[in-house]
Each structure stands twice: as structure tokens, then as C-alpha cells.
Amino acid sequence: MGRSYLDHASTSPARPEAVEAMLAWLSGPAAADPARVHTEGRMARAAVEDARDRVAGLLGARSREVVFTSGATESINAAVWGAAGLRPEGAVIVPGVEHSAVRDASARTGRMVVAPVDGLGRVDVAALLDLVVPGAALVHCQMGNHEVGTLQPVAEVVAGCRERGVLVHVDAAAAAGRVAVDFAGLGADLLSVSAHKLGGPKGAGALLVRRGLRLAPLLVGGDQERARRAGMEDVPAIAGFGAACSALDPAAEAADARARTDRILTGALAVPGVVAYGDPVRRLPHIACVGIAGVEAEGVLLGLDQAGVAAHSGSACSSEALEASPVLEAMGVEAERSLRLSVGWSTTEADVDTFLRAFPLVVARLRALAS
């Protein structure tokens, strides 16, 4: 029996176009240092810059605003490091549902202030802006929640922070390739993405830095990325990242994803004691999150896995310990019984069918054991 992979929000398999683009740069003279002036180096540089154009095109940015990194985690840490350095005493304001990379990087400054969210996981804009006191260093606002899918009022947050003269970082790792991202139109100062979330390779990402903004680099030791991120560029991964961005058809893929997660939610909510988490309408199209009364998350995950379905519970970076979800705790809902299903470019209707058959049986069996 084949497997049904419904954990694309954690990582999505590399698209064929990304794999093909990477192969040419993995070995032989093509695997040259893009900083060198010889022919091989210039070819590698051309590949990096072509990918930069492609990433910028997907995200509505200028090419020169794209700084390649190892992924969104590094991008987030670089954003916090640079912004906090500009205002060493300023607060770093973090909505309670941000990814652990945002929370942990911000907490390390010793100046983190947590902003409230509502029961759907949406940022309370007025309450957040009340925390943006003069001299604040940075405000975070994710574009869409990585766990429950709720879209955030990021444009309102950015506008309010610009009025107050405070930098804003947008974590778009969950949203890029799923909904339209327009860095220029949004007016944010910093934006983070990961290639592997949208069908590119693991180990590649980008930090978008608004034109004219100068931040101290997190990684030093070389002049790569116009002295904004030291270390030789990973040409194969960057080429794969660019190819994945070009291969995307955001509108068509979003429509397919929404239809599939709507089916997932309809089927899951037909089981007694199952509730939906997050905004059912204004959400990322590829994520569905539910809470299940009377059973533990670990049992549901294992039961689904035995039935051939890969799913997830809790936030991606705490799954090994199956810890209570900080996102759901911030929302004020049951934090230990969540199930997240997420679809992607390779998901089929058969994958959804497999889940819809297995889920009621797994829940019923676990409840029977518990009673």
C-alpha cells in the first residue's frame, strides 16, 4: 500500500524542476566558487543571480533585496540580530503564535515582549501597536500561521509600525508559494522564507532586506551576498530554490490545496468531538488543524501512520517530544490534542481519501481503549 504524505507544512518534497536544476551544479567544474573570476566561477555566479531573480519575482521584491541563507531559521535569526543591534535597548515584540525560531531568537535579546492573539490565533493589532513604544527595535508578524493556518493582518501591523518608525519582520515561510506575497507592496522591512516549504531543497532560504536598510550581518568572515551573509553560496541549493519558485503556479495550487483541506475538514469534523482550530475562512489554503476530544495526539499520529498517513501534531520544532503547542496555548484552546494535516504540490485526491477512511477508525479505536 502506498503512503499518503499530509505533512507539507513541515516540509514539502522537492519538485522535479528543483532536483533537475540542482544536479548540474553538484559535481565537476560547474561546482565552482561563484566568487571567482574564472569561467567556471562566472557560470556559478550567473546561476546564483538567475535564482535570485526568480525568488525576487515570486516574492514581489527587487533582486538586490534578496539575501540567500540556509533557510528561514537563519533568516529570522539574522533579522533579529541586525535589528536588535540598531537599537540595543529597544523591545522586540512577538505575537504569541509566532514560530519557535522567532520566539527563541527574540527571547535571546532579553527584551522580548509578547503580544496577544484571539481564539483563532489572529494578532490583536490594536493591542500589539500599544506595545510599540518609542525606541522599540523590531516587531514580528507572520503572514500566516504555520500550525492552524490563520492569515494575519500583516498589512495593518506593517502600516502601524511604519507610522511609529519601528522595523517590521514578516515570517512568510508558511505562506510563500501558498498565497500572494508582495514585499514591495507590503512595505515591510524584512521577510523570511525557506525553499523546502514550497518544493525547493532543504538548506536554502532567503532574507529579504528592504532597499536602503543596513543591518550588521549575523554571519561574518567573508563578503558574500554583498557582505550581508558570509560563507560560500550553496549554488546547487540556490539553483533548486530558484527553479522551485519558477515552477510554482500559486493561484492554481492554492485552489487545489483549498479544495483538499476543505474535504479534510469536512470529513474530520463529521467525527463527534472534533473541532477546527484557526480561522476556517481566512487561512492558508494548505493547512487544516483540528482538536480531538478524548484521545492523545501521539496515539492519533501513530494510528494514522499505521494506516499509511503521515500527519503532524504541535509545532514542527517540538514534535520529537510531542510537547503542548505554544501556538494553541496562546490561542487559549486545548493544546495537547491537535492534529495538523497539510497538502502540497504532490498531494492527490487519493491521499485525502486515505485519511478520510482512516481517521474515524483511528479515533474510535483509541476512544474504545481509553474507556
Task: Give me the active site residues, please.
Answer: 317
Write down the residue that cell numbers 518609542 correspond to: 134
C-alpha cell of 265? Answer: 475538514
Report the phi/psi class of residue 144: left, alpha or beta, with left for phi > 0 and alpha for psi in -120 to 50: beta
* Helices 100-107 and 72-86, axial angle in degrees (round to 10): 30
C-alpha cell of 252? Answer: 492554481
Q: Rounded CA gap, 223 and 232, in Å?
A: 9
Say if residues 55 and 18 touch (Cβ distance below 8 Å).
Answer: no
